[in-house]
Structure 1
């Protein structure tokens, strides 16, 4: 019997994403689990302080489109079907929590840079996902 049946792999679409995906795919195979691939696009207004008096919807649409295209490329490369790929907009920690609950996942896999000192105090997405998750969370060390 498999411990994990459905795994949410949350990636940030940086050059380090393949490190997370390769390990996640291997873990998925070991558990014969279904993988869901997710990326959260932060709202443009939030990223820029929200005080800019201009319409940023076109920029948000471009970011969303680029994220979907990159996620589709990773999905194809790692054998994750299109209907198991999710792009959403919001704060990464809370969106990953919502997705994990809505999708009924057993495990969330995220990458972690292993920050220390002041960076650790300020927190990270991996730390935010861990605190508040209702399922297991695996933070994979990114080199």
Structure 2
């Protein structure tokens, strides 16, 4: 079995994120590993392709500030220092790979909603992370409460 020292936890900050964080906490405790938390926000220009004739930078900044606050609260639960919490802007799978490499993570933990059919065919963030990661990936099956 691998000996994990640095675990990158990718959270979508949904209500189900606590399930992922709980599993990450168990893994960190079992291996004596350091947790790093991240949340990736897709730029609004990605979603709207510049079709909206207005400046979205203020809205983007508000989203980032809200995400930082939610990540801080999640980090507090497991004593993850703020310098090991990252809110980044970009394409989720790409940014998670980049961060895992940058932080020399040996495990990425993230949630998976277990989608089927068309959603699975089109791919998901978990699938994208799994297929491009340079380290182990643990996809935690999350359930809506």
TM surpasses 0.5: yes
1:123 Cα deviation after fit: 0.7
1:49 Cα deviation after fit: 2.9
Taking the aligned partners of 2:133 and 2:75, their CA distance within structure 1 comes to: 24
Q: Is structure 2 residue 101 aligned with structure 1 residue 101? A: yes
TM-score, normalized by length of structure 1?
0.96
SS at match of 1:83: helix
The residue number in structure 2 matching 1:111 is 111
CA deviations 1:13-69 (Å, max 9, x no partner) are: 000100000010000110100000000011011122332221100001000000001
Q: Is structure 2 residue 61 aligned with structure 1 residue 61? A: yes
Contact in 2 for aligned 1:8/1:107 (Cα 8 Å): yes
Taking the aligned partners of 2:50 and 2:108, their CA distance within structure 1 comes to: 30
Q: Is structure 2 residue 133 aligned with structure 1 residue 126? A: no
SS at match of 2:54: coil
RMSD value, Cα: 1.2
1:114 Cα deviation after fit: 0.9
In structure 1, stretches of 5+ residues that fail to align are none
The residue number in structure 2 matching 1:49 is 49
Number of equivalences: 143
Taking the aligned partners of 1:80 and 1:33, their CA distance within structure 2 comes to: 11
1:115 Cα deviation after fit: 1.1
1:83 Cα deviation after fit: 1.1
1:2 Cα deviation after fit: 6.6
In structure 2, stretches of 5+ residues that fail to align are none
CA deviations 1:110-131 (Å, max 9, x no partner) are: 1001111111101111001001
